[in-house]
């Protein structure tokens, strides 16, 4: 039986993960009893409270021995004063590094019933369906030297952007493979006019395309232009591949275009075990109130079924069910706008609506 390691984490994490797991149970019901084993562990602030570290060896071992990992979110103001090494967010970096998750896939898709939730005009966002592939374990977040020190009596903060040929080649392949399952277009985003590390990035992405993916169209864009184009005409993009730092920023921008951070799932791939999580954080401002939007986590289960278990039919059932409940007017607070047939619901009711939609269809 495939095994899923579950890290509910902090804040709204446990609330949204609960709904996502019960959607998975409904999928098991309607797909003839093919079951998944799940095992939960502490991660993030709750792990720090219990064990003094944001991720124990035992938690990492469980993740590594599973077929996929589902994560809610980690962090919160309670743990902000902690030293950097034991902050909840360190668990995420450790998990990605140890599981070799070098590619982060973040789809940004606009659901037709939510067009009015986007800050952009309807005609700009209608039909957006893009994926950003962000390099996740290299670049300036990991490069050495780093730190804050005194040099000749002056305080200096240092970070270093480093990319090697193999790091660029492997993430480029993830993007090109993905493009082959979509509309065969990749935009590689860099700052090659200023940063040598991304001059190399541009050259190697082009080489990989010419050598192995001649059937995929490749274009290059500078990151400042991409930030602008995402607002000006987002529909031009299909697959975007970029560095760790640029991806971090552009994915948040892309998510905002779609209306709500509470709607977007993500997958981190590359190693033996895939990690699936909503793109939002632990939302301490609404934690424990039962109002969080569980759809990003539910859609993360769909990505897991697709990428880790090759169960595209069941993934499709979840995606269709989400579209259906939105069309039926179900809205959590973050995506709620007053209108005919629209009703405001909490986390549990939204989860139940999705389960009901799957049962009807499955």
DSSP 94: H
Q: Is 141 a catalytic residue?
A: yes
Quick check: 47 binds ligand NAD (CB under 6 A)? no
Site size for ligand NAD (CB under 6 A): 23
DSSP 271: S
- 193-213 in b/e form (b: 16+ CB < 10 A) is eebebbebbbebbeebbeeeb
Q: State in angstroms the smallest separation of the CB of 131 from ligand NAD.
A: 18
Quick check: 161 binds ligand NAD (CB under 6 A)? no
Helix or strand (DSSP H, E) at 50: helix 45-51
Interface with ligand NAD (CB under 6 A), residue from 24, 269, 292, 350? 292
Q: Is 272 a catalytic residue?
A: no
Contact 255, 232 (CB under 8 A): no
Q: Which is nearer to ligand NAD, 197 or 332 (CB)?
A: 332
Integer Cα distance of 299 and 35 in angstroms: 18
Q: Which is nearer to ligand NAD, 74 or 321 (CB)?
A: 74
In Å, how far are 110, 231, 246 from 250, measured between CA atoms?
16, 11, 6
- 118-128 in b/e form (b: 16+ CB < 10 A) is bebeeebbeeb
Quick check: 285 binds ligand NAD (CB under 6 A)? yes
Quick check: 188 binds ligand NAD (CB under 6 A)? no
Residues with Cβ within 8 Å of 124's Cβ and at least 6 positions away in sequence, in order, are 118, 233, 234, 235
Q: Is 334 a catalytic residue?
A: no
Contact 267, 127 (CB under 8 A): no
How many CA atoms, within 13 angstroms, populate the side-chain half-sphere of residue 102? 18
Structure-block tokens of residue 310: 């090759």
Q: Is 252 a catalytic residue?
A: yes
Residue nearest to ligand NAD (CB): 281
Interface with ligand NAD (CB under 6 A), residue from 96, 134, 280, 306? 280
Q: Which is nearer to ligand NAD, 100 or 290 (CB)?
A: 290
Neighbours of 145 (CB within 10 A): 8
Quick check: 262 binds ligand NAD (CB under 6 A)? yes
Q: Of 252, 256, 248, which is closest to residue 125 (Cα–Cα)? A: 256
Matching residue, tokens 């090659």:
192
Quick check: 282 binds ligand NAD (CB under 6 A)? yes
Interface with ligand NAD (CB under 6 A), residue from 74, 205, 208, 353? 74
Q: Cα 212 to the chain's mean position, in Å? A: 27
Quick check: 293 binds ligand NAD (CB under 6 A)? yes
Interface with ligand NAD (CB under 6 A), residue from 284, 316, 329, 346? 284
Integer Cα distance of 112 and 328 in angstroms: 12
Interface with ligand NAD (CB under 6 A), residue from 28, 40, 89, 199? 89
Q: State in angstroms the smallest separation of the CB of 87 from ligand NAD.
A: 8
Interaction residues for ligand NAD, span 5-44 (CB under 6 A)? 12, 16
**Piece of 125-133, 143-151, 214-222, 286-294 that binds ligand NAD (CB under 6 A):** 286-294
Q: Write out the residues near ligand NAD by the rule CB under 6 A.
A: 12, 16, 73-76, 89, 92, 261-262, 277, 280-286, 292-293, 296, 332, 334
Active site residues: 141, 191, 224, 248, 252
């Amino acid at each position: 039986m495939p095994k899923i390691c579950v890290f509910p984490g902090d804040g709204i994490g446990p609330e949204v993960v609960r709904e996502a797991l019960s959607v998975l149970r409904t999928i098991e019901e309607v797909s003839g009893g093919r079951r998944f084993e799940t095992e939960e562990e502490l991660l993030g602030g709750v792990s720090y409270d219990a064990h003094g570290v944001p991720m124990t060896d035992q938690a990492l071992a469980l993740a590594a021995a599973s077929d996929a990992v589902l994560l809610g979110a980690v962090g919160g103001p309670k743990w902000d004063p902690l030293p950097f090494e034991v902050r909840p967010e360190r668990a995420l970096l450790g998990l990605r590094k140890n599981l070799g998750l070098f590619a982060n896939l973040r789809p940004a898709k606009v659901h037709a019933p939510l067009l009015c939730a986007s800050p952009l005009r309807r005609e700009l966002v209608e039909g957006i369906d893009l994926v950003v592939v962000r390099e996740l374990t290299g670049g300036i977040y990991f490069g050495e030297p780093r730190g804050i020190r005194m040099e000749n009596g002056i305080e200096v903060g240092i970070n270093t952007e480093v990319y090697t040929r193999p790091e660029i080649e492997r993430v480029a392949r993830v993007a090109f493979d993905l493009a082959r399952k979509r509309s065969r277009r990749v935009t590689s985003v860099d700052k090659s006019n200023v940063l040598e590390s991304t001059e190399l990035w541009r050259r190697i992405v082009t080489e990989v395309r010419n050598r192995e993916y001649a059937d995929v169209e490749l274009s290059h864009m500078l990151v400042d232009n991409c930030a602008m184009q995402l607002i000006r005409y987002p529909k031009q993009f299909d697959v975007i591949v970029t560095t760790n730092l640029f991806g971090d920023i552009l994915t948040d921008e892309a998510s905002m275009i779609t209306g709500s951070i509470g709607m977007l799932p993500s997958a981190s791939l590359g190693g033996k075990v895939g990690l699936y999580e909503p793109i939002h954080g632990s939302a301490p401002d609404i934690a424990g109130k039962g109002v969080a939007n569980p759809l990003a986590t539910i859609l993360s289960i769909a990505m897991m079924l697709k990428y880790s278990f090759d169960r595209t039919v069941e993934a499709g059932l979840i995606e269709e069910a989400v579209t259906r409940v939105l069309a039926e007017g179900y809205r959590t607070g973050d995506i709620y706008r007053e209108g005919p047939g629209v009703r405001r619901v909490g986390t549990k009711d939204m989860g139940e609506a999705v389960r009901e939609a799957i049962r009807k269809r499955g």
